[in-house]
Each structure stands twice: as C-alpha cells, then as structure tokens.
A and B are shown apart, each in its own frame.
Chain A
C-alpha cells in the first residue's frame, strides 16, 4: 500500500533506509526540524541544517521516488537558550518559500518550562504572520499530559491560528481525545520504547475513528523504527480492517493536511 510517513528525521538515517522505505510503499514523507542529539552552537549551524532539509534530503529522497517535505524551527530542547532561539526564528522566513517547506515545526514543549513556552509562542507568531501550517511535538512520559494541555491552552488563546491547520503529534490514550475534540489534527508516533505501539495505535483508531488522525515513525538517530508505518498497516490488516480505512489514515489524511499548504505539490503514482 502506498503511504506517507508524516514525521521522520531522515538526516539521521542512511540511504539504505530510503531504499527500504520505498520498497515498503513509502511515496512521501515530512521531516520536522529536530534536535541533533547535542546542542548546536550557533544560528549559522541551523542555517546549514535548513539547507540540508530543503536541498539535500529532498534530492536524496527523490532518487527513490519519495517526495520529501520539511518543517522549520528550533526544537524545544534547544529553546532554553532564548537568545539563540530568537536568532533562529528570525532566520526562518528566508527559507519559507522553498518548495518542500510545509510550515513551522516540530515546535512544542519538552520539560514544560517558561523559556520553552516563550519560544513556542514566538514560533506561533511566525506561523500566524506568514499563514503557515504548524506541526507540534508533545513531551514524553510523565510530562506529556501537562505539556499537551499547556500547548492546547496556548493554541486556543491565539485566534489567528485555525485548529485544522495544526497537527499535534505524539498523542497517546490520555491526550488524543482532547486534541481531536478541539478540532486539531493528531499524530500517533510508533516507537519501540517511550511512545506508542502499532497495536495501541490501532486501538485508538478503533475508539476515535479515522478523522484528522495520522500515524508516523518519528524515526531519528535514537532507537526507532523507520518502517513503523508498514507495521501499523500490517496490524490493522491482521485485525480485519478494510483497506479503505487503513489507506485513509496512512495516505489520504496526511495528503489532506499537507494540501492546506499553498506550496504543496504531490503527484500520486499512476
């Protein structure tokens, strides 16, 4: 089945991974800007990263017939440095009109601190000013519920942002209901250790339906599985769900969300 992985960090993956994903049916992916595993030293380092996301990864993916899209920001882990964050945020508009850019992301909270909240709000300002889509990272483990509620509070207080143009990622059983009920898109991240399994993601589909819901691998430089979306497809099939239901979640939903971006172009396979 053709599918999209709407959240994967390919700069941390090998070309062999692109080849594997293409063979498993991946026709498109979106790569949010993320933490490198160490704090970057300067805004110039982010400029190089944004070039990698908008130039090199796009062509590396194209070699395997995969459409590569991306999101720009300084991530929550580095947002404690407000001065550096402001330099990076000021640079984002330079890159916004590049053809594979979908919007601002993955912004959000990590430890739910004051500085993270301030930098999150300043990113939202850029998204509102330039009318960009937003992709949101929610924290992990015991911080997730509080952080997700804080993020939702900040989003609904800003009348410029339309919920249907915002995807809140890494939802789990205790956060998915509120995200969907308030009109936002939700992403379920399939991860071997700290997040959700394919079975629990399928459980949430069964309970919450298929509207405004996506699944992703969030594959990165840590323990993660870039092939997690095909694992989800397999789990849904094993349970007896229809191909139409599965396809809506892994293909049609990401396309519907991305098509709200004025730059988005995608040619489905013939």
Chain B
C-alpha cells in the first residue's frame, strides 16, 4: 500500500522521530534551502555572536563561578545544534525539560483510576 499524499517517505530523515507514525499530512516548506538560508543568515550570525559574547562574559566574570549544571545544559544544547538530527528544536526543548514518569499519580497521591 502506498503512503498517503504528503506523509513521510520511508527513507525520510524523520523516520525515527515522533513524526514518523503520525497520521497527519504535513504541509512542507514552499521555500528552497537556499532561500531559507538567505533570509535567515544574518539573524543566525547575530545569534551565534550573542551566544559567543555571553560565554566570554561568563568566563571573564568574577567568582562565584556560574552554576555548573546549567552551563552543562548549555554545552549539551550547542552539541544538539551541531548534529544532523532532523528535530533539533524538539531535542533542545527536551534538554531543558523536567522528565516525565508514568507513576506520577502514585508519587503525588492523585487518584486517577475509575474516572468517568
């Protein structure tokens, strides 16, 4: 059976992302990669510079040192940007998110069974 129009092809780089099994039809980008780059280049350049200047400022500032945990999060975030993953925005979001555990109702003491 052929996939529905607009769904992800089997060899899509998104094959391992949550999008892969979605029944939703994607719209896709009407712009070429070069058009997107032309439009965003100066903006991205400015943001990379801003991050660089901020890291320099943290390094040359006086003690106490910056919180190591948050600095590590930033380092990991920059690593995600350097990858070829198709869902870097989602990965960065997850990096800065509290983890989910399915037993939260028991942990919090919220009765969830037998509703409705």
> Footprint of B on A, CB under 8 Å?
112-114, 117-118, 121, 128, 141-146, 149-150, 153-154, 157-161, 172-174, 177-178, 180-181, 200, 203, 205-211, 239-241, 245
Contact A146 B99 (CB under 8 A): yes
Q: Name the interface residues of B68-102: CB closer than 8 Å to any CB of A.
A: 87, 89-90, 93-94, 96-100, 102
- Smallest Cβ distance from B66 to chain A, in angstroms? 18
Contact A142 B96 (CB under 8 A): yes
**B24 near A: Cβ within 8 Å?**
yes
Contact with A along B92-116 (1 / 0, CB 8 A): 0110111110101100111011011
Which chain B residues border A145 with CB–CB below 8 Å?
93-94, 97-98, 100
Give the A-B pair count, Cβ closer than 8 A. Answer: 95
Which chain B residues border A174 with CB–CB below 8 Å?
90, 93-94, 97
CB-nearest residue of chain B to A148: B100
Q: Name the interface residues of B12-40: CB closer than 8 Å to any CB of A.
A: 18-19, 21-31
Which chain A residues border B54 with CB–CB below 8 Å?
none
The main secondary structure of chain B at its interface with chain A is loop
| B19 in complex: contacting residue of A117, A128, A208, A211, CB < 8 Å | A208
Contact A150 B115 (CB under 8 A): no
**B6 near A: Cβ within 8 Å?**
yes
> Footprint of A on B, CB under 8 Å?
6, 18-19, 21-31, 87, 89-90, 93-94, 96-100, 102, 104-105, 108-110, 112-113, 115-116
Contact A241 B108 (CB under 8 A): no
| Known contacts A146-B100, A157-B116; A211/B109 CB under 8 A | no
Q: Please measure, in the bound complex, the distance between the C-alpha atom of A118 and the C-alpha atom of B100, giving whole angstroms.
A: 18
- Smallest Cβ distance from B99 to chain A, in angstroms? 7
Q: Please measure, in the bound complex, the distance between the C-alpha atom of A145 and the C-alpha atom of B92, giving whole angstroms.
A: 12
| Known contacts A114-B108, A173-B89, A203-B89; A181/B97 CB under 8 A | no
Contact B31 A142 (CB under 8 A): no
Which chain B residues border A144 with CB–CB below 8 Å?
93, 97
Q: Please measure, in the bound complex, the distance between the C-alpha atom of A236 and the C-alpha atom of B35, giving whole angstroms.
A: 14
| A206 in complex: contacting residue of B21, B26, B89, B112, CB < 8 Å | B26
